[in-house]
Amino acid sequence: MNSQRIACFLLILVTLATDVSAGPDQRRLLEDLFSDYNKHERPVYSESEPVAVEFQVSLRSILNVDEANQQLQTQLWLNYAWKDYKFRWEPLSYGNITDIRYPAASLWLPDITMYNSIASSEIGSKPDVFIASEGSVSLVQPGIFTSSCETDLRWFPFDTQACKLTFGSWTLDGSKVDLKVKNGVSMGSLDGYQPNQEWHLLNFSVVRNTVYYECCPDTPYIDLDYTLKISRLQLFYVINIIIPSIFIALLTLVTFIIPVQSGEKLSFGSTVLLILAIFWLLLINVTPSTSASVPMLTIFLGFISIVNVLSLTCAAIVVRLHHSSALMPRVVSNLTGGDDCCFWLLPLTQYLVY
Confidence of residue 301 (pLDDT cuts 50, 70, 90): confident
What are residue 337's phi and psi, to 5 degrees?
A: 95, 20
Q: Tell which wins on pLDDT, 303 or 327.
A: 303
What percent of the chain has pLDDT above 90?
35
How far is residue 268 from each of residues 27, 124, 216, 251, 303, measured CA to CA in Å? 87, 61, 70, 9, 19
- Count of helix runs (H) and strand runs (E) in the chain: 7, 11
Q: What is the DSSP letter of 110?
A: -
Report pLDDT digits (tens) over 126-169: 788 999 999 999 999 999 999 999 888 888 889 999 999 999 99
Mean pLDDT of 40-61: 91
Nearest by Cα to 172 from 113, 107, 86 = 113
3-state SS, residue 237:
helix
Q: Tell which wins on pLDDT, 146 or 217.
A: 146
Q: How far apart are CA 121 and CA 146, in angstroms?
A: 9
pLDDT at 1 over 50: no
Q: Tell which wins on pLDDT, 258 or 135.
A: 135
Per the CB < 8 A criterion, the answer to whether 134 and 116 are in contact is no
For residue 132, with 0-12 CB atoms within 10 Å meaning exposed, 13-18 middle and 19 or more buried, which class applies? middle
Q: What is the DSSP string of 46-96?
A: STTSPEEEEEEEEEEEEEEEETTTTEEEEEEEEEEEEE-TTS---GGGGTT
Instruction: Tell whether the torsion through CA atoms of 275, 237, 229 and 77 is positive or negative.
Output: positive
Least confident window among 10-14, 19-23, 64-68, 77-81: 10-14
Q: What is the DSSP string of 324-354?
A: --SPPPHHHHHHHTGGGTTGGGHHHHHHHH-
Q: How far apart are CA 1 and CA 354, in angstroms?
A: 98
Report pLDDT digits (tens) over 218-255: 888 999 999 999 999 989 888 888 888 888 888 888 87
Q: How far apart are CA 247 and CA 268, in angstroms?
A: 14
Nearest by Cα to 179 from 166, 164, 168 = 168
How far is residue 30 from each of residues 18, 22, 109, 131, measured CA to CA in Å? 18, 12, 18, 11
Report pLDDT digits (tens) over 171-183: 888 889 999 999 8
pLDDT score recorded for residue 251: 84
